[in-house]
Structure 1
Amino acid sequence: MKRIQQLSDDELVQQFIAGDDECVDVLISRHKKRVYTYILMNVKQPHLAEDIFQDTFCKALLSLRNGQYTENGRFVSWILRIAHNLVIDHFRRQKNMATVSTDEKEYPFFNSAKYSDPSIEEQISYEQILKDVASLVHHLPDVQKEVVMMRHYQGMSFKEIAEETNVSINTALGRMRYAIINLRKLVEERQMSLTV
């Protein structure tokens, strides 16, 4: 039987889907330099590149778990495409935040959602969603809850979370992945709707 490091990407993906979480560590280790370098070349900021790198693998792991991987034999291309899309999303958000137009009377109107006022219904719905998510987070195991709180409530990068909790980045990523999986299960069990 092959050692786990000797397995092809596709074999690692299939074993991960079958439940062997150790395969993810091998995939991340095998491709992290290439994926991180690609992101850094595009965003030019190491801290931002690290965040997008972590988000890339989080998204990939969720897609694998949800059976959305159909790129047999082309894992690297698939993961780089996810990274590319996240980089584009980042630049789109930046562009939208900077977009300004004027009418004939020279009054500025901001075309960014950042400056638009939500309706009362949207605001109430959004506040309820925040409360629902916060209540669900408290049902997570402590290590998963800790990562969610640090990432989404304190705005820490996965590198900072790993340093703060004395674990590897892969472990911090794994805890976030399991937290998201568990949160989704809780949402389904309680038949909750988390959309505005």
Structure 2
Amino acid sequence: MSTTISDSELIRAYRGGDEQAFEILLTRHQDRVYTKINFIVRDSELANDLFQDTFIKVVRLLKEGKYVEEGKFLPWILRIAHNMAIDHFRRNKKMRMVRSRDEMDVFATIQTGDAHIEDILVKDQINSDVRCLIDELPEDQREVVRMRMYDNLSFKEIAETTGVSINTALGRMRYAVINLRKIVEENNIQLTPY
């Protein structure tokens, strides 16, 4: 079976008993689903567990006929993955803490290829700081920013995944950017390495 077959055709084939069709769907979408989960939980082992749970649920829902084909298979899976990750935190009532990397300053002078470890650490710290700033946004804005910036979804896909109009998704992104600027300015935060 070719990977050029559409998701819709693969779903029909899988529902018809072709297990290989689901393997193709899994291979096609696993990177984006795993990235989505790992971005939320920031723990690779937990992300692997939730990834497996997500696809177990997808299989169950497909077999129960609870997926209505509208050409929105990836947004549907991403929504399930998102909900699984959020449900995990609700059950455990705790969020991972960001820890300092001060102990790694010893390695700041070691070079790897063209980049200094210090530059890599600074970039990682900036990315971590940006994620912390995004966490300060209201949930609806935070969700749109994550989908757009980290999942690389189009605004159409974001709208489909969240169940809102494209204009609403665009508006949430606009307000998220405004709020991020406000947070940065009010707290005199610098997100540049030098």
TM-score where L is the length of structure 1: 0.47
TM-score where L is the length of structure 2: 0.47
